[in-house]
Structures are given as structure tokens and as C-alpha cells.
Amino acid sequence: MKVSKVKIIEKEKIKDLLKEASQEWDVYVPQKFSDGDVWMDQLPEDRQLLDDALENVMLEDADTVISPKDIFFPQLETILKFKDDKILETPEFSQKLIFGIRSCDLKGILFSDDFYSRNFEDIYYKSRMQNRLIVVIGCLKPPRPACFCTSANTGPFAEEGFDLQLVDSGNSYFVETGSKKGQEFIDVHKKFFIESDENFDMTVKEIKIKAYDSIKLKVDFQEALNLMTQDSFIPEENYRRISERCIYCGGCLYVCPTCTCFNVFDNFNDKDKEGERLRNWDACVFEGYTREASGHNPRKEKWLRTARRYEHKLKFDYKLTGMSGCVACGRCLSSCPVNIGMSEFIQEITEKRKIM
């Protein structure tokens, strides 16, 4: 992707930009809530509530609890409603401005785009993502200690797939344009943006180099992919140790930007002869995920379910698509109550030593 000439927006104008953009878009932006957690949440339509929400916008040093995947793949969604012999599908088509996500989360969205269109087009995902504009903000320093994006080439800045990218320069942001849609957004809201001169190209480069050097956790990510894609490589001893430690809460999978597993169930009101079909997030490490109707479970043993997770992320996804199912955001380790992380697994198999 060719990035066009850099523009500048002053930080103090960001809230006014978001306020104006919310008249046209459903705007999702990191917001800090009363418990201290930061979530990608939609700005409210109500003017008073909007002003209050804008005061909670947090773009810098924002460690979002989960990835923004739930904007396009909600934790719980109704996919159709039925009454008597009539069925009504319920896709959602609003325009979405995703403002202030990290480069690793952008990689997660691009991975999901591929997954939900690979074998068939998921109309519920597609309807949510087709009218979107993504504004990435680069990380000057890792939002969490477990980040290892430089090892996986997923950050701290995006190289492609974004519409706009913000580069923090102190009191303002340099704005890189990555798509026609991004340029059109700048044109519509041009009063917020000013031109930069060519000398700023070097400044942007220097900022990115410094940000790259701030990522301290390094792993041999490519070697892990090389090992895992060999059918003869089965690190069973690692899987067994992890499985004995894991409490199978599913936390790592719920926060992961690329986990796409789901379950489908029906709610039915027999009295009114109507109901709805819903889907919700599921996780492949749960025993019930692979249990068949007969009661047989091909992955009854815990270590086999542990293996499933790592093989999805580092083997089968990569062999099938050329993209790893791990974007190196580090949320799995940050969220794990027993300190199990993808980076540690990679270190164990590439460095041949016990960490977990």
C-alpha cells in the first residue's frame, strides 16, 4: 500500500473531529470507564452523553481489554427471527468509524475478513464490515508488557490495510493516508487537518524506529511457524505441561483478536410460536466444543485441546492462508490467571527450555 503525503491534526482537535464524524458514522473509539478498564466502545448519539463520553476518550497508552473484533463479530448476536412459518434474517449495516485501534488489532480484523469469506460469505459479518473506515494509531511504546509485535511483523505501526494512521508527535499527530476512503474522510473534514512539509517524512521515520526499539519482548516467531508447520513436529510434552496448569477459563481466546469460534442456539416462545436464533463466542479449548451428539469426544484429553489452540494459531492458519492466527498482541498472557502466553510457548519450542 502506498502511503500518500502526510498531514497533521492537533490533538486538541480530535474530540471535535469525532463529534462531527458521529453525525455520519457509528464511531467506535477507546474509552476509559469508571473501573479503569479501556474498551473500544461506540460513542452515544445523545448530545449530552456524547460530550461526556468524549471526555473519556483515551488514545495514548490505551491497553484495551479485548480486541475490537466484537464490533464485527459480537459476543452475542441475533442472526435471525422466526414466527410461524416466516424467517427474517437480521444483518446490521451501519457505517462504522473504528478510530484509534492498534496495528495488531488491525491484523486481527484483516484475518477475520479472510476467515468469514474464505469458504462462504458470512452475511452477518460482511454486513457489519462493508461500510467501515479504520483509523490506526501507532504505539510509541507497548500498551502491555506482553506485546511482541516486532517479532511477528504486526506492529508497532501498520504497513497496510488501514484507511488512516496516526503517528504521535507530541502535541499533534502526523496522519498517513492508506486508502481512497481515508483521503475522502480527510477531504470531508479538511478543517481539522493541515499540510505538512516534506521534511516531516524523516521525522515520522525516526518516530517509528524509536517505537520499534521500545518493544523489549523478542521471540523467534518465524522459527516457531517453521517448526509448527512440520507435520512431524508435535511438542506433546509442552502441551501436557500447559494442560495441567491451564484452568480452561477461555479468557485467552475471548480477548484474542483472531478467535472466530462460535456456538448457535435458539430461543423459542411456544406460546407465541416465535423465537430467535443467536450465536455467541465459543472456545476450542472447552471440552464441550468437540463433543459429538453421540457423546464421543475426539479431544477428550486436556492436552489435545491445548494442542488445538496452538496448532490453530501457529500451524493450520498459516499453512492455509499464509497468515498466522497470532498477531502478537500479548493479551493471552496479560489476561491469563495462571500466566500462560503464546510468547512463552514460542520461546519454549524455539529455545528448547521450560518457561511455563
- To the nearest whole percent, how much of the chain has pLDDT over 90? 87
> Which residue has 498459516 as its cell numbers?
318
313: closest CA among 280, 343, 272, 278? 343
pLDDT tens for residues 119-136? 889 999 999 999 999 999
Classify 194 as helix, strand or coil: strand
Residue 64, strand partner residues: 38
Phi-psi region of 100 (alpha: psi -120 to 50; beta: other; left: phi over 0): left
pLDDT tens for residues 11-33? 999 999 999 999 999 999 999 99
Report the Cα–Cα distance between both ends of the chain, in Å, rounded: 39
CB-CB neighbours of 203 under 10 Å: 14
Classify 352 as helix, strand or coil: coil
DSSP 8-state secondary structure symbol assigned to residue 316: I
Q: How many CA atoms lie within 13 A of 263 on its CB side?
A: 12
What pTM does this model have?
A: 0.93
**How confident is residue 2, by pLDDT bands cut at 50, 70 and 90?**
low
**Cα(115)–Cα(123) distance, rounded to whole angstroms?**
13
What mean pLDDT value characterizes the chain? 94
Q: Residue 343: in which H helix or E strand, if any? A: helix 342-351
Taking the domains of the chain in order of start, what are their residue ranges? 7-213, 221-351
